[in-house]
Amino acid sequence: MFDFLIDPVQLANVLGTALRLSIPLIFAAMGGLLCERSGVFNIALEGQILFGAFGAAVGAFYFGSAYGGLVIAIAFGAASGLLLAVLGITLRVNQIVVGIAIILFATGFTSFMSRLLFPGGGNSLKLDGFSNIDIPLLSDIPILGPVLFSQNGLVYVAIFSVFAVHFVLFRTRVGMSIRAVGESPAAADAAGIHVFALRYACVIIGSSLAALGGAYLVLTQVLLFSDNISAGKGFIALAAIVLGRWQPSIAFMACLLFGLFDAVQLRMQFDQPDIPYQVFAALPYLVAILALVGLMGQANPPSSVGRPYDREMR
């Protein structure tokens, strides 16, 4: 059953699959985490991945380069973040409702526009994507070499984003302000921190990060756009944030865990034809539930998350 663990080639294959499946989750989880740390629920991650994927396809198609795709993807992500910020922070609409609205809008908008913009529909595209970068020496290490050091540029960006988010949140003055705004905006405001500006910045940057997850799908994994290409990854990223207890490093590991179990379930299905495949398909979620209830203890979200700040409110 676990024979792929012994065979180095098979193991490298499974780990490679796991990493590739977890990259969009990592981008989205880091983006969402940044928003929630600043006190704004961003459940629109699913829609922002979709926007990112669509923007990447548009950019790569019209500019003929993967970098063009990346720029447009980020622009789409930032725009959806701005929308969330205006409605959820300034106009104080319920952030959950805004998030759902953005997801629904993204689904309709991207399917509709992809039919208008791409001849023959988005799934007949063959876009220019990023190719793999082999890091010299390191990529020759058995098993881990090809998995970690012979990947796409965006994979390294995803891993870098984990370090960046962690560093900013816990090692800089701005990060401390972000956390303060997420815990107690009134106190932060009294201390002279710009609550609104900081939340706007976090939501826009976080949303752009989530959009990079979509760009990764389009520019490296499949090189085309298909309707609803995000396929629920944004929701899994939300689970990873909770599972990671709003800590970038743990959320990162949660994403890897989901990716790994997805890869393992694909592998185990046909090694074990007697067990219904649904058991394996449910495996990642089962692991999430077990981890949430048992292993991690009480999850403590930032205490002001989801509560729009109003200066006049007592």
Partner 1 sequence: MMKHLKSAIVATFTASAAALVAFPALADAPRVAVALPGMVTDRAFNENIYDGLVAVEEQFGSEIAYTENVSQATQVEVMSDYARRGYDIVVGSGGEYTDAAERVAANFPDTTVIVLNGAPTEGVTTINYNNPEFGYLLGVVAGGVSETGVVAALSAQKFAAFDNVVDGFRQGFQSVQPDGEVLVAFTNDWADVALAKEASFNLISKKADVLMPYLDGAWVGVVQAAQERGVHTVGILHESESNLVSARLDFARALVMAVDLHQKDELEAKDYVIHLTSRDQLGDFSVDVPEEVQTMALDAVEKIKSGELKFGD
Q: Which positions touch partner 1 (CB under 8 A)?
A: 9-10, 13, 17, 20-21, 24, 104, 107-108, 111-112, 114-115, 121-124, 217, 221-224, 226-229, 231-232, 262-263, 266-267, 269-270, 273, 276-278, 281
38 contacts: CB under 8 Å, gap ≥ 6: 178, 181, 182, 198, 199, 202, 203, 302
Find out whether 55 and 77 touch, Cβ atoms under 8 Å.
yes
* C-beta of 35 vs 236, nearer to partner 1: 236
CA–CA distances in Å: residue 271 to residues 8, 12, 136: 17, 17, 35
Distance of closest approach, residue 7 Cβ to partner 1, in angstroms:
10
- Tell me the closest approach of the beta carbon of residue 92 to partner 1, in angstroms: 21
Task: Please report how close the Cβ of residue 18 comes to partner 1 at its closest, in angstroms.
Answer: 9
Dist CA 9 CA 60 (whole Å): 33
Amino acid at 225: F
Q: How many CA atoms lie within 13 A of 116 on its CB side?
A: 7
Nearer to partner 1, 179 or 267 (CB): 267
What does the block give as tokens for 165?
């988010």
Which of 189, 227 has the CB closer to partner 1?
Answer: 227
The candidate with the shortest Cα–Cα distance to 61, out of 75, 51, 47, 72, is 72
Closest CB 221 distance from partner 1, rounded Å: 5
Q: How many residues in total does the chain contain?
A: 314
**Contact status, residue 281 vs residue 232, Cβ threshold 8 Å:** no
Closest CB to partner 1 among 174 and 266? Answer: 266
User: Which CB atom, from 21 or from 240, has the smaller least distance to partner 1?
Assistant: 21
CB of 172 or CB of 272, closer to partner 1: 272
Cβ 117 to partner 1 shortest distance, Å: 12
Closest contact distance (angstroms) between CB of 199 and partner 1 is 27
